[in-house]
Amino acid sequence: MEKQIHFIKMEGAGNDYVYVDCFSQFIKNPQALARQVSRRHFGIGSDGLILIKPSPRADCFMDIYNADGSRGRTCGNGLRCTARLLWKKSGGTKNEFSIETLSGISCVQVSQVNRRRSWVQAGMGQVFVRNIPAPVNRILKMLPGGVFTEWVHVADAGNLHCVVKLKTCHEEWSPVQVLEQLDLKSVGSFLEHYEGFPGSVNVEFCVDESREGCLCSWEDSGWECPDSGPSVPDVSRKICARVWERGSGETLACGSGACAIYQAFCKAEGPADCCIFMPGGRLYVTGNDHEVLLGGMAADVFEGDLPVSL
């Protein structure tokens, strides 16, 4: 026996999830559904599943499932897309929302850009830099292909991230070429499951382009400047990054990962607001004494009905 559930696929910087409004629908087995919808060639295709549920403490509870069916604690791009969905549901009459996750409650603001996308900024709370498991520095001292590590930091952005800044011994390589040469599947998967990280970890590999005079080839991916609402931050630090997400593998972007990158660079090289270029687009991260703020575009992809076995 089957029933139809209504869904909408949305993306923030290419970080795409299938969203289901569970105020009026019930999902019996979200782990299995997450695995089903996430399959790129045999499902809808996504980095995971997000269920939007009632919350006694906030406008909604955002229940996150990774592509392998495991549960996620928070998702920066998920927060931003969920806020756009709530904004549409309100008929555009409300533009600030409180969204609860397993990591706490975030305040998210939406500014309309056009019918398909919005500029959305999420308060991600405080991001903490943690101690690095001792063997990790040794593991990352030299990566295959002549790629070296400049520094490593572990940051807690509601979920755990290992942030690695890369350098190279090849003078002819640009910073982005260093990043593109990296065997992310091999190294990312190894670190994700490394026993020194409790409950596994997300991994971000980065290069700093602030002083290189050339921008990442991903600069314009999916980007459209907002024509209303808050202005795009003027930043002094430009970073390119690739992401390996716990339970999902390589993704085009990661919002909480962008916040972890921001905090790791602040720790290693001093405070500065960041524009972080990822393969799916760019994210802006700023901070103050109380929290880290994540800004960028959130867009609808398509919606429909999906048969689900009872």
Partners of 306 in the beta sheet?
5
Read off the DSSP letter of residue 134. Answer: H
Q: Which residues of 245-254 are buried (b: 16+ CB within 10 A; e: fewer)?
A: bbbbbebbbb
Annotated catalytic residue, options 75, 107, 259, 275:
75
Instruction: Evaluate the CA torsion angle 310, 67, 47, 153 in order and state its sign.
Output: positive
CA dihedral 179, 183, 184, 185 (to 10 degrees): 160
Q: Does 137 carry a binding-site annotation? A: no
Q: Does 14 carry a binding-site annotation? A: no
Active site residue 75: yes
Distance CA 122, CA 46 (A): 21
Q: Does 131 carry a binding-site annotation? A: no
**Can you give the C-alpha Rg of the chain in angstroms?**
19
Q: Does 246 carry a binding-site annotation? A: yes
Distance CA 104, CA 243 (A): 23
Q: Does 15 carry a binding-site annotation? A: yes
Q: Does 77 carry a binding-site annotation? A: yes
Annotated catalytic residue, options 107, 254, 259, 266:
254
Pairing label, strands 71-72, 96-101: unpaired
Q: Does 192 carry a binding-site annotation? A: no
Q: Which residues of 220-244 are buried (b: 16+ CB within 10 A; e: fewer)?
A: ebbeeebeeeeeeeebebbbbbbbb
Report in angstroms the alpha-carbon separations of 196 from 39, 124, 205, 244, 254.
30, 25, 18, 17, 22
Residue 74, C-beta contacts closer than 8 angstroms, at least 6 positions apart = 64, 101, 102, 103, 104, 106, 124, 157, 158, 159, 256
Q: Does 256 carry a binding-site annotation? A: yes
Q: Position 261: which residue type?
A: I
Indicate the annotated binding residues: 15, 66, 76-77, 159, 202, 245-246, 255-256
Residues with catalytic annotation?
75, 254
Indicate the annotated binding residues for substrate: 15, 66, 76-77, 159, 202, 245-246, 255-256
